[in-house]
């Protein structure tokens, strides 16, 4: 059974179906499709062979044979968890929109379903052109979501979002075409084995870097993200943070590291530097925010610093010629951080959405003492805040812990700077919680708040369960990626020059 195609096309065609069903009946249909897509993605996990780094569940159909472009899909241990995360978050997103979106709900839900199909395509594509098309295509539904259902400055935000990410990926296309001209195929695996000379490697690295650094995003090309988050509707923010950012991290793992390992090694100092700036500088910037969504957006950037740090300390860790154990831990930490951040950031944005729907304000100063009127919500908020601050026992801890352990091996000061997140992350997150949740009831609007309903309880509860599960037992997650990442580390140690 072509599972990957089924997931991709079920959501995309399902999205179109939702458009035709109309605003009245669109919600149950969308929910059914999203659940079905998730169910179809489960066999990817349970049928996954953890002993091999080879692509699994592969599909291959010739598309444009003259350029050797194929409709080729497949997953390894790096892509598969991200696909499950995507289809899982999709359900939450549909639930979150239930009675909240009154304006063109069918179109709204359709956009999310179609976007899910594209994002699964990004992670499943094993052909570079197919990847590129999916990668670009995801922009369109997100562009519409922010542009139509967004806040007052949505036009500025969408253009910034579109220009940034579009410009970034143009460079990637050039790099892909250059690689094709040498490999005579667009199969990504062929690029992995292609010998490339030093200067070309550097140029290709920079091209990929621009595309993925914007996406994930890294400092200093990050400023589109807070604006996009602030203007996006709740579910848009959730998907943006939970999935779309991960496309950048995935890109580094799938393209930059294995295709141009020597350039990656040469420029790893730059990547580490930018990652640490993300952790420290952005951590401080988050502290200065007065808008909850902006604060969480900056927190996302800071957390993504751990992802890129974990990936690029690989070379520093391998330098001493000892075992690759810490290198593997670094990249696995980066992966765990991506998955975990998918749950936590989505939950944080949904939490803001919950109170925004009631108060129509994102400003921290408009709140205070929410716990008095919304105790159940407050419990969830404190839980997710603690996860965001990396409390052990939640999934937020696992990735950061692994990356800090691994980076200590590379350099004491890398670990030192990375570990400041323990203080900064707690400071900006819990200070926000203090001002929003605790204290006396701040004003009449807060006094009139009603606690979360069953639907909201469900969506936050499911996310909390995932955060707790992977915090208490991350092995099922790490286990599936182990073979692929060990293979990747093995691969990057071999020079291509």
Partner 1 sequence: MKLIYILTPLAPLFGAIAAGFFGKQLGRTNSHRVTIAGVAVAFLFSLIALFKNLGSDGAVFNETIYTWMISGDIKFEVGFLVDRLTVVMMTVVTSVSLMVHIYTIGYMHDDPGYQRFFSYISLFTFAMLMLVMANNFMQLFFGWEAVGLVSYLLIGFWYKKPTAIFANLKAFLVNRVGDFGFLLGIAAVVMYTGTLNYTEAFEAAPALQGETMELFPGAGWSVLTVMCICLFIGAMGKSAQIPLHVWLPDSMEGPTPISALIHAATMVTAGIFMVSRMSPLFEMSETALSFVLVIGALTALLMGLIGIVQNDIKRVVAYSTLSQLGYMTVALGASAYSAAIFHLMTHAFFKALLFLAAGSVIIGMHHEQDIRKMGGLKKYMPVTYWTSLIGSLALIGFPGFSGYFSKDAIIEAVHASQIPGAGFAYLCVLLGVFITAFYSFRMFFLVFHGEERMDTHTKEHLHESPGVVTVPLILLAIPSVILGAFTIGGMLFGDYFGDAIVVAPEHNVLAEVGSHYHGPLAFVLHGFKTPALYLALSGTLAAWFIYLHRPDIADWFATKFGFLHRLLENKYGFDDFNQKVFAGGSLNLADKLWNIGDVKLIDGAMVNGSANKIGLLSSFVRTVQSGFLYHYAFAMIIGLLAMLFVLSFTN
Contact segment (CB under 8 A) with partner 1 among 169-177, 308-316, 420-428, 449-457 equals 420-428
For residues 459-478, which are near partner 1 according to CB under 8 A? Answer: 472-475, 478
Burial per residue of 337-356, b for 16 or more beta-carbon CB atoms within 10 angstroms, e otherwise: bbbbbbbbbbbbbbbbbbbb
Query: Residue 248: which H helix or E strand, with range?
Result: helix 245-251
> Is 423 among the residues that bind partner 1 (CB under 8 A)?
yes
- C-alpha distance from residue 99 to each of 23, 105, 178, 346, 446 (Å): 12, 9, 49, 18, 21
CB of 22 to partner 1, least distance (A): 18
DSSP code, position 98: T
Q: In the chain, what's the furthest Cα-to-Cα distance? A: 70
- C-alpha distance from residue 61 to each of 43, 126, 191, 297 (Å): 22, 12, 19, 39
CB of 344 to partner 1, least distance (A): 16
Tell me how far apart the alpha carbons of residues 451 and 431 are, in angstroms, rounded to a whole number: 22
- Beta-strand (E) ranges in 33-178? 56-64, 69-75
> Is 405 among the residues that bind partner 1 (CB under 8 A)?
yes
Pick the closer one to partner 1 by CB: 301 or 346.
301
CB of 91 to partner 1, least distance (A): 22
Which of residues 215, 229, 303, 409 is near partner 1 by CB under 8 A? 409
Identify whether the C-beta of residue 390 lies closer than 8 Å to the C-beta of residue 396. Answer: yes
Identify whether the C-beta of residue 429 lies closer than 8 Å to the C-beta of residue 388. Answer: yes
- C-alpha distance from residue 339 to each of 140, 364, 446, 478 (Å): 24, 28, 34, 11
Contact segment (CB under 8 A) with partner 1 among 58-66, 205-213, 249-257, 358-366 equals 58-66
Which of residues 42, 288, 363, 465 is near partner 1 by CB under 8 A? 288
Identify whether the C-beta of residue 235 lies closer than 8 Å to the C-beta of residue 93. Answer: yes
CB of 121 to partner 1, least distance (A): 8
Contact segment (CB under 8 A) with partner 1 among 43-51, 261-269, 340-348, 418-426 equals 418-426
Pick the closer one to partner 1 by CB: 196 or 488.
488
Which of residues 32, 39, 42, 62 is near partner 1 by CB under 8 A? 62
Q: Which residues contact 244 (CB under 8 A, 6 or more apart)?
A: 119, 138, 142, 215
> Is 363 among the residues that bind partner 1 (CB under 8 A)?
no
For residues 101-120, which are near partner 1 according to CB under 8 A? Answer: 114
In 420-453, where does DSSP find H-type helix?
421-436, 444-447
Which neighbouring-strand residues pair with 56?
Answer: 75
CB of 475 to partner 1, least distance (A): 5
Query: Residue 146: which H helix or E strand, with range?
Result: helix 139-149
> Is 376 among the residues that bind partner 1 (CB under 8 A)?
no
CB of 158 to partner 1, least distance (A): 7
Pick the closer one to partner 1 by CB: 72 or 204.
72
Which of residues 52, 54, 182, 223 is near partner 1 by CB under 8 A? 223
Q: Judged by CB under 8 A, how many residues of this single chain contact partner 1?
A: 83
CB of 335 to partner 1, least distance (A): 10
Tell me how far apart the alpha carbons of residues 270 and 315 are, in angstroms, rounded to a whole number: 12
> Is 10 among the residues that bind partner 1 (CB under 8 A)?
no
Contact segment (CB under 8 A) with partner 1 among 20-28, 87-95, 249-257, 403-411 equals 403-411
For residues 313-332, which are near partner 1 according to CB under 8 A? Answer: 323-329, 332
C-alpha neighbours within 13 Å on the C-beta side of residue 386: 14
Pick the closer one to partner 1 by CB: 60 or 266.
60
For residues 130-159, which are near partner 1 according to CB under 8 A? Answer: 133, 137, 140-141, 143-144, 147, 155, 158-159
Binding mask 157-176 for partner 1 (x = CB under 8 A): -xxx--x-------------
- 184 Rama class: left (phi>0) / alpha (psi -120 to 50) / beta: left
Strand, helix or coil for residue 374: coil
Which of residues 260, 278, 352, 404 is near partner 1 by CB under 8 A? 404
Which of residues 401, 459, 488, 496 is near partner 1 by CB under 8 A? 401
């Amino acid at each position: 059974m072509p599972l990957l195609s089924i997931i991709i096309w079920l959501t995309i065609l399902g999205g179109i179906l939702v458009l035709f069903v109309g605003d009245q009946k669109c919600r149950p249909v969308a929910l059914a499709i999203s659940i079905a897509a998730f169910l179809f993605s489960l066999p990817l996990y349970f049928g996954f062979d953890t002993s091999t780094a080879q692509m699994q569940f592969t599909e291959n159909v010739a598309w444009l044979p003259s350029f050797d472009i194929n409709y080729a899909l497949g997953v390894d241990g790096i892509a598969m968890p991200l696909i499950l995360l995507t289809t899982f978050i999709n359900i939450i997103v549909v639930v979150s929109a239930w009675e909240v979106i009154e304006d063109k709900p069918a179109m709204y839900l359709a956009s999310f379903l179609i976007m899910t199909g594209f994002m699964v395509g990004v992670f499943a594509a094993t052909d570079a052109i197919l990847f590129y098309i999916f990668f670009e295509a995801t922009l369109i539904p997100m562009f519409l979501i922010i542009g139509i259902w967004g806040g007052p400055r949505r036009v500025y935000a969408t253009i910034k979002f579109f220009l940034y990410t579009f410009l970034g990926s143009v460079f990637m296309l050039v790099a892909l075409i250059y690689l094709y001209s040498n490999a005579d195929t667009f199969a990504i695996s062929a690029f992995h084995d292609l010998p490339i000379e030093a200067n070309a490697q550097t140029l290709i690295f920079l091209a990929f870097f621009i595309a993925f650094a914007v996406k994930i995003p890294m400092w200093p090309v990050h400023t589109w993200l807070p604006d996009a988050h602030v203007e996006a509707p709740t579910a848009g923010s959730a998907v943006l943070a939970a999935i779309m950012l991960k496309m950048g991290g995935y890109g580094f793992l799938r393209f930059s590291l294995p295709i141009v390992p020597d350039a990656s090694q040469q420029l790893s100092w730059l990547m580490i530097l930018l990652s640490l700036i993300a952790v420290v500088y952005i951590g401080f910037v988050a502290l200065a925010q007065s808008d909850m969504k902006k604060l969480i957006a900056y927190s996302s950037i800071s957390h993504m610093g751990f992802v890129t740090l974990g990936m690029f300390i690989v070379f520093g860790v391998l330098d001493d010629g000892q075992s690759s154990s810490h290198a593997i831990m670094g990249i696995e930490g980066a992966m765990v951080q991506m998955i975990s951040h998918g749950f936590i950031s989505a939950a944080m944005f949904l939490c803001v959405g919950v109170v925004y729907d009631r108060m129509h304000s994102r400003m921290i100063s408009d709140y205070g003492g929410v716990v008095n009127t919304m105790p159940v919500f407050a419990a969830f908020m404190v839980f997710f805040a603690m996860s965001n601050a990396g409390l052990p026992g939640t999934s937020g801890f696992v990735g950061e812990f692994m990356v800090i352990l691994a980076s200590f091996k590379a350099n004491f000061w890398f670990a030192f700077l990375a570990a400041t997140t323990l203080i900064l992350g707690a400071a900006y997150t819990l200070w926000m919680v203090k001002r929003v949740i605790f204290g006396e009831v701040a004003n009449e609007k807060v006094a009139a708040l009603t606690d979360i309903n069953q639907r909201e309880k469900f969506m936050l509860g499911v996310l909390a369960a995932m955060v707790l599960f992977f915090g208490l037992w991350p092995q099922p997650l790490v286990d599936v990626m182990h073979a692929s990442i060990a293979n990747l580390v093995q691969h990057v140690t071999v020079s291509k020059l």
